[in-house]
Amino acid sequence: MVFTKLIIAGTTGYLAGHASRAILASTKPKFDVTILTRVDSGKAVAFIPGARVVPVDYNDHNGLVKTVAGADAILSFIPGPSSKSIDRLLLKAAQEAGVRRIFPSEYTLDILHPAAITVLDSGDHYFAGCSLPFIGAAIIAVLQMDEEKTKNKRISITKVRATMNQIVDIYEELLGTKFQRAQITSQEFLNKRNADLAAGNAFAALLDGIIVGEFNGCGAGDLVDGLAFDGDGLLNIKRKTLKELTTEALKKIGTI
């Protein structure tokens, strides 16, 4: 059964913007969308064409249950460390309201990978990546898939797989110049993460940990099986090569 009546939590951040626009632009299927914003944000309630925007207090459990009741699925795009606590509040409300599915705000490396903090360094380690439009299209495909195939599962979605050295090689080819390659060790990032934690900079520490897990070759950031994801034929966006993506990026910033 397709998830069509959606609650979207979070409107700020790059992923929220791209994913929400993709969902609202979809016509097959057409989604019924309610977007939640913080009641205490201090900002006027935004008008978002095609969606209802509802201010909520995430700590008001009863109010949150009433707001999400009747929805098929909740998609959380809450950015930063606050997503950890808000996702739990959304899950608790979803369970009581009978919502069939919740997508937590975890669009990153495999955070449960057993080797996610192993320190292995080389510019030749593979990692996987996605553009924001690709993630948006993948979410729409997942919403349409047989729900038993995606129930209680982490879904690997990969647009391109590469190494840092391959990226630098393509930059050099497209720009016609050589780059000096300086190696930064995972231990340096781990030291920075520990310093950020000690200083109370939780978000910076989170990013440090993601960088380590993504690029150190442990496998947590190399979701190679995601290259086969096609949403059972429902994915409506094509993958591009690393060179094509790099060319687009450089054109966008006016470098080539």
Output the pLDDT for position 45: 61
Q: What is the pTM of this model?
A: 0.83
Given CATH 3.90.25, say whether it is the number of domain 109-256.
yes
How large is the average pLDDT for residues 162-169?
Answer: 93
pLDDT of 176-216, one tens digit each?
Answer: 999 988 888 888 888 998 999 999 988 888 888 888 888 88
Assess whether pLDDT exceeds 50 at residue 141.
Answer: yes
Q: Across the chain, what does the average pLDDT equal?
A: 89
Beta-bridge partners for 121: none
Output the pLDDT for position 152: 92
Output the pLDDT for position 117: 45
pLDDT of 41-69, one tens digit each?
Answer: 666 666 788 999 999 999 999 999 999 99
Q: Residue holding tokens 């038993």? A: 148
- The segment(s) of the chain belonging to CATH 3.40.50.720 are 1-106
Whose CA is closest to 35, among 50, 54, 12? 54
Q: How distant, in Å, are the alpha carbons of 80, 126, 129, 187 from that of 167?
A: 27, 11, 12, 22
Specify whether the CB–CB gap between 166 and 192 falls below 8 A.
no
- The segment(s) of the chain belonging to CATH 3.90.25 are 109-256
Ranges 8-12, 52-56, 163-167: which has the least confidence: 8-12
Given CATH 3.40.50.720, say whether it is the number of domain 1-106.
yes
Assess whether pLDDT exceeds 60 at residue 115.
Answer: no
Predicted confidence band at 36 (pLDDT cuts at 50, 70, 90)? Answer: very high
Predicted confidence band at 15 (pLDDT cuts at 50, 70, 90)? Answer: confident
* Helix axes 202-215 and 186-198, enclosed angle (nearest 10): 160
Ranges 76-85, 145-154, 159-168, 239-248: which has the least confidence: 76-85
Output the pLDDT for position 114: 62
Output the pLDDT for position 107: 84
